[in-house]
Structure 1
Amino acid sequence: MAAYDEIADWYEEEFLRAQPVNPGAEALRGLLGEGSGVCLELGCGTGVHAGLVRELGWTPVGVDLSGGMLRHARARLPIARADAARLPIRDSSVAAVVAVLVHTDMPAYFAVLREVARVLRPDGVFVHVGVHPCFCGGFADRGDPAAVVVRPGYLDGHWTKESWTDQGIRDKVGATHWPLPELLNGFLDAGLTLDRFAEAGTPLPIVLAARAHAR
């Protein structure tokens, strides 16, 4: 992904260092839980979640389209450059799959969910940790740390670079937004059964996370 190739060094060296807390870590830990076997991370970026996945007992493996991001990730976990919507992985072969704060970067995310259902073992688990559809988007202004201003646009469902800040990622590479029902229906349509949910972030959630398994 050329857009992420261009910002990979900034993301690793400036953006991540400016984040005092990883907003997805709490939800990932709680929903993935302890386990063993390969845990495939879709859109692994620079591999910043590999340590947590490994701490829980899993063996992290990452895939991403951006060679620039993978250049940083290779020191943190085994990687492959691949399209998450066309995974080079056998059916029913992976113990766990995670997607952390990437679904808005994947316009074909519903095809990605179908791939998750295909590669998961019958007893496997999928954890989606994403920006919260209701409170994060081109319609949401988080400039006031005590409140979130939500403007019209939530139901539009579109790709945009509109953002309340020029210090983040959206204004640089854009993002796709799906309203909550469309996103959750995408899991069901892909053949996944939703098990549990979590939210994280204050004063209103930054993250909506879900755990699912293949039917």
Structure 2
Amino acid sequence: MADAAYDEIADWYEEKFLNARGTGDPIGIDAALRGLLGPGHGPCLEIGCGTGVHAAGVRELGWTPVGIDLSGGMLRHARSRLPVARAEAERLPIGDHSVPAVLAMMVHTDMPGYPAVLREVARVLRPGGVFVHVGVHPCFCGGFADRGDPGAVVIRPGYLDRYWTTESWTDRGIRDKVGATHTPLPALLHAFLDAGLTLDRFVEGGAPTPAVLAIRARRAGPSGAD
């Protein structure tokens, strides 16, 4: 279970992994969040908030961050950063059309049922509300990608195959510890459309080969409508 796996690494993630990343934004996660979410107000729900490391950036944009996650261990660290609840992303404890913004930050590979998560996103978003997905790049990250040489990423066969794996090119990251579900790019984009979300803007982050694909989508309806 993903929640149990993250419970086991929660302290390592908070105390070692985050510090090991150092300063700056080398693969463009924060830049994608700020550029796609933009300034606003009202609650911004983060699905799979982990230890809540993105809450400060959300507040700086004027939003009020709130988070849900399945891992009690991760939420133990998150509670000092934002209001949280332990809940499943596929069954959000949120009313229909009740929030103006939703985030999913680097979590879709932890969610084999991500299409169902996107349907929940569409359900809880207000008409015209914004959803920001920031995730590992489907084309260049996964068990099929060897990023040992940043200047020459090697893509092996397997990109088109849906699968879950703990195979990783590095043992200093997260995926060799908790695994990852891979979804090819067309299937990911179709999941947005099937959920009733309108694709709005895209950002790639990381160089020289992108490591992040970020998507802004909206729920159908006039912006700001209730």
Pairwise TM-score range, normalised by the shorter structure:
over 0.9
* Aligned position for 1:170: 175
Does structure 1 residue 198 correspond to structure 2 residue 203? yes
How many Å apart are 1:203 and its aligned residue? 1.3
The match for 1:8 among 7, 10, 21 is 10
How many Å apart are 1:147 and its aligned residue? 2.2
Does structure 1 residue 161 correspond to structure 2 residue 163? no
Percent of paired sites with the same residue: 77
Does structure 1 residue 112 correspond to structure 2 residue 120? no
SS of residue in 1 equivalent to 2:213: strand
Per-residue CA distance 1:88-131 (angstroms, 9 max, x = gap): 11000001000000000011111000000000000210000000
TM-score normalised by L of structure 2: 0.94
SS of residue in 2 equivalent to 1:111: helix
The match for 1:140 among 105, 126, 145 is 145
Does structure 1 residue 18 correspond to structure 2 residue 20? yes
* Aligned position for 1:31: 36
Does structure 1 residue 57 correspond to structure 2 residue 62? yes
How many Å apart are 1:146 and its aligned residue? 1.9
**Structure 2 residues not aligned, in runs of 5+:** 221-226
Q: RMSD across aligned C-alpha pairs, in angstroms? A: 0.8
TM-score normalised by L of structure 1: 0.98
* Number of residues of Structure 1 aligned to a counterpart in Structure 2: 215
Task: Return the alpha-carbon distance in structure 2 between the equivalents of residues 87 and 145 of structure 1.
Answer: 38
Per-residue CA distance 1:9-64 (angstroms, 9 max, x = gap): 00011111111344311111100000000000000000000000000000000000
* Aligned position for 1:46: 51
Per-residue CA distance 1:56-90 (angstroms, 9 max, x = gap): 00000000000000000000000000101100110
* Aligned position for 2:133: 128
Whether the aligned pair in 1 keeps the contact of 2:150 and 2:209 (CA below 8 Å) is no
**Structure 1 residues not aligned, in runs of 5+:** none
How many Å apart are 1:145 and its aligned residue? 2.6
